[in-house]
């Protein structure tokens, strides 16, 4: 169980992020068209997985925008944003924000994703949602970078995540 904070108050997650050097756990989440999407769908592309509580918060929205801006400059890389938001809300968010370089996936039919990735919030006002975390995977889904953001209201370390994916070139 990881300890993180929400506005300074300690809360807990269901576990810890998968470790660097390990293969990311497989998942099946719900895509924008309500289709099932697996990690395997992205093949040999490098992946930035941006896990957020909800795109309907300022910090989550900021992280989606920031990574969306960076992705076109990185070859063979996909940005996957995962939240508990409904696919309809995720699509509306991307359309309203003009985000074209992002794949949004919902835990709608797979709430166990948060538990398997160690990011499900177990207590506090956001219990049941996921904590803020970023993973970078190589083309074989090996984790080369992992950050569990310690304070939910803080943005992730964009520079470190982007540096990790660029180093895979």
> Among all residues, which ones are annotated catalytic?
60
Q: What letter would DSSP give residue 41?
A: G
Reference 49, options 110, 135, 132; nearest CA is 135
DSSP secondary structure of 50-82: EE-S-TTSHHHHHHHHHHHHHGGGSTTEEEEEE
Give bridge partners of residue 136 from the DSSP assignment: 48, 145
Looking only at the bridges linking them, the beta strands covering 77-83 and 46-51 are parallel
Which contiguous run of DSSP H or E holds residue 144?
strand 143-148
Which contiguous run of DSSP H or E holds residue 158?
helix 158-166
The answer to whether 110 and 28 have CB atoms below 8 angstroms apart is yes
């Amino acid at each position: 169980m990881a300890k993180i904070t929400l506005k300074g108050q300690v809360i807990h997650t269901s576990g810890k992020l998968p470790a660097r050097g390990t293969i990311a756990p497989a998942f099946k989440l719900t895509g924008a068209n309500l289709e099932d999407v697996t990690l395997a769908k992205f093949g040999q592309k490098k992946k930035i997985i941006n896990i957020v509580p909800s795109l309907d918060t300022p910090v989550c929205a900021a992280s989606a925008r920031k990574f969306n801006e960076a992705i076109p400059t990185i070859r063979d890389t996909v940005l996957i944003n995962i939240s508990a938001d409904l696919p309809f809300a995720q699509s509306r968010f991307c359309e309203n924000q003009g985000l074209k370089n992002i794949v949004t996936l919902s835990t709608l039919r797979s709430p166990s994703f948060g538990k398997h990735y160690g990011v499900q919030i177990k207590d506090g006002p956001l219990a049941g949602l996921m904590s803020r975390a970023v993973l970078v995977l190589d083309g074989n889904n090996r984790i080369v970078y992992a950050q569990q953001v310690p304070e939910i209201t803080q943005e992730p370390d964009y520079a470190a995540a982007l540096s990790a994916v660029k180093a895979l070139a």
